[in-house]
Amino acid sequence: MDWPALRLSLWLGLSTVVILLPFALWLGRHLALRRFAGRGMIEAAVALPLVLPPTVLGFYLLTAFGAGTWLGGAFQAIFGRTLAFSFEGLLLASAIANIPFAVQPIQNAFAAIPPNLREAGATSGMTPWAVFRRIELPLAWPGIATAIVLTFAHTLGEFGVVLMVGGAIPGETRTAAIAIYDRVQAFDDAAAASMSALLLVICLVALLLVQRLTRGIGCRRHG
């Protein structure tokens, strides 16, 4: 069992959730409640990582991470090391790859809130912030929780992009999924088997959690 790899994967999953959630909340709510030009285009762009081969994303990220680009150059100027092959680079890649898993459940949750509830809040003198905090957030919570769990679980499962931009550095970019691949290639089936079983259980529990949470949405709607 490669514990550093597992710890790294869990930490990457957590970090991805933390940096992606505020953005997903803003964008998901915006897409659910507003009608504006180019909305379809943005929705399609949000869904892109679901259908694009990870290699396409990996290729663009590799190109963007080089020290010659503004992104790679700025990172190197600030932190004194390359963005490619760093945990931060992996985190950025993971955040981009997880956009649909974070945004779509949140968008659906906000879209399911009856408009008259928000209007009632507004007419009874609540500020928009109060409406968001006291009416929208509690009602959208199951969708938000689903987004958190899905993003976390999907980060654990990310492989193609990590293989391309990570560089398999122990403790920094060698995630559990990469470690399993390496163990298999090195004919070490025992280690691959135990790590695979553990990831299987973690992801299964995560999906069961999502199931319970989304069932919550249904109950609320009927009650």
Positions touching another protein (CB under 8 A) are 62, 65-68, 72, 76, 81-85, 163, 167-169, 173-174, 182, 184-187
CB of 192 to another protein, least distance (A): 11
* DSSP-derived secondary structure for 136-162: IHHHHHHHHHHHHHHHHHHHHH--HHH
The residues, ordered by sequence, that sit 6+ positions from 193 with a Cβ below 8 Å of its Cβ are: none
- Which one-letter amino acid corresponds to residue 31? L
CA–centroid distance for 153 within its chain: 8
CB of 50 to another protein, least distance (A): 25
Tokens 């953005």, located at residue:
23
CA–centroid distance for 170 within its chain: 23
Nearer to another protein, 141 or 181 (CB): 181
Nearer to another protein, 61 or 113 (CB): 61
Token representation of residue 188: 């070490």
